[in-house]
Structure 1
Amino acid sequence: MDKMKVNYEVMLGLYAEFVLDEAIRKYKEEHLYIEIDNALAKGDEPKFLELTNELKALRL
């Protein structure tokens, strides 16, 4: 019985970590989209390229 409780707690912890990681990834992605839009509006090509590369890396 105790082994099942430990397994459940471990699985619950892993799931919580997954949910948190996914939330952080989505936040970073949304933030990058905003910054990419700003770089486009300013005509800042180097910043645009830097941010789009960052976005591509985040999606891997």
Structure 2
Amino acid sequence: MDKLKVTYEVMLGLAAEMVWDDAVRKYRSVELYKEIDQALASGDEKAFRHLTDELKSLG
């Protein structure tokens, strides 16, 4: 029974980590879109390219 409890706790931990990672990825994606818009508005091509590369890497 103890082995099942440990397994259950590990699975809960993994599920929590997956939810956390997804939330962080979504937040960063929203922030990147804002920063990309600002780079476009100011004509900053270097920042635009850097930010879009980071956005692509988020998957």
| Short-chain TM bin | over 0.9
TM-score of the aligned structures, taking structure 2 as reference length: 0.93
Aligned to 2:3: 3
Which 5+ residue runs of structure 2 have no aligned equivalent? none
Aligned to 1:36: 36
Counting aligned pairs with the same residue, the percent is 64
**Matches of 2:9 and 2:35 in 1, distance apart?**
39
Question: For 1:40-51, what aligned pairs fall within 5 Å after superposition?
Answer: 40-51=40-51
Q: How many correspondences in the alignment?
A: 59
Which 5+ residue runs of structure 1 have no aligned equivalent? none
Tell me if 1:24 matches 2:58.
no
TM-score of the aligned structures, taking structure 1 as reference length: 0.92
- C-alpha displacement of 1:13: 0.4
Aligned to 1:55: 55
- C-alpha displacement of 1:28: 0.7
